[in-house]
């Protein structure tokens, strides 16, 4: 495969998933600046300028040109046009057809099934459009809400690594969840 770019926007019942734009800055800052949102993300709490710099990088992450890259999409609430989070899909390996999924959502929109809706669409894109065989999610084992969400999506916990990495100044344990293409298709 020489590259991959979904037909944007990706639409679900309540959401549009699309590449970031510079006018997303205020919405992005609204959740990148919240400690409770970034607690389990690889980035720290960001001020407005740090969010702007991060957003500039995200502007080029709406397509995949080679394995190892992340597709990073804004989660936009269709009824208001507000960006409430972001969802990610990594093209880990073209040869082995492996990927990884991730997501972050503003606290005001958590607990409403919106992250699951966005993640489900990214799984669909990964399996049905990108042709992945297996998609994983790696998370801090204290992140109970995300673990429950992944299980609702049909993902299976495959590993639990103790003191897996230094994360925000402390040793962290990781869960690895995975879903195979066959299991995705059988669930439909």
Q: Is residue 90 part of a domain?
A: yes
Q: Is residue 33 part of a domain?
A: yes
Give, for all 188 residues of the chain, the pLDDT tens digit: 668 999 999 999 999 999 999 999 999 999 999 999 999 999 999 999 999 999 999 999 999 999 999 999 999 999 999 999 999 999 999 999 999 999 999 999 999 999 999 999 999 999 999 999 999 999 999 999 999 999 999 999 999 999 999 999 999 999 999 999 999 999 86
Provide the pLDDT for residue 2: 67
| Domain hosting residue 40, numbered range | 11-187
Write the CATH number for 106: 3.40.630.30
DSSP notation for the chain: ---B---SSEE-SSEEEEE--GGGHHHHHHHHT-HHHHTTSSS----HHHHHHHHHHHTT-SSBSSTT-EEEEEEEETTT--EEEEEEEEEEETTTTEEEEEEEE-GGGTTSSHHHHHHHHHHHIIIIIS--SEEEEEEETT-HHHHHHHHHTT-EEEEEEEEEEEETTEEEEEEEEEEEHHHHHHH-
Q: What pTM was computed for the model?
A: 0.95
Q: Is residue 78 part of a domain?
A: yes
Q: Is residue 137 part of a domain?
A: yes
Domains identified in the chain, total number: 1
Q: Is residue 110 part of a domain?
A: yes
């Amino acid at each position: 495969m020489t590259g991959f770019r979904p037909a944007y926007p990706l639409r679900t019942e309540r959401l549009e998933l699309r590449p970031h734009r510079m006018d997303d800055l205020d919405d992005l800052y609204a959740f990148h600046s919240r400690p409770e949102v970034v607690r389990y993300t690889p980035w720290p709490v960001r001020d407005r300028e740090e969010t702007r710099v991060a957003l500039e990088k995200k502007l080029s992450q709406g397509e995949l040109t080679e394995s190892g890259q992340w597709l990073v999409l804004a989660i936009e609430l269709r009824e208001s046009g507000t960006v409430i989070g972001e969802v990610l899909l990594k093209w880990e390996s073209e040869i082995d057809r492996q990927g990884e999924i991730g997501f972050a959502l503003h606290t005001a929109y958590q607990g409403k099934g919106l992250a699951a809706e966005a993640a489900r669409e990214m799984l669909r894109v990964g399996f049905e459009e990108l042709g992945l065989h297996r998609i994983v999610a790696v998370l801090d084992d204290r992140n109970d809400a995300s673990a429950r969400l992944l299980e609702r999506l049909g993902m299976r916990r495959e590993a639990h690594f103790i003191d897996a990495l230094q994360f925000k100044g402390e040793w962290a344990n990781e869960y690895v969840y995975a879903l195979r293409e066959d299991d995705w298709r059988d669930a439909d």
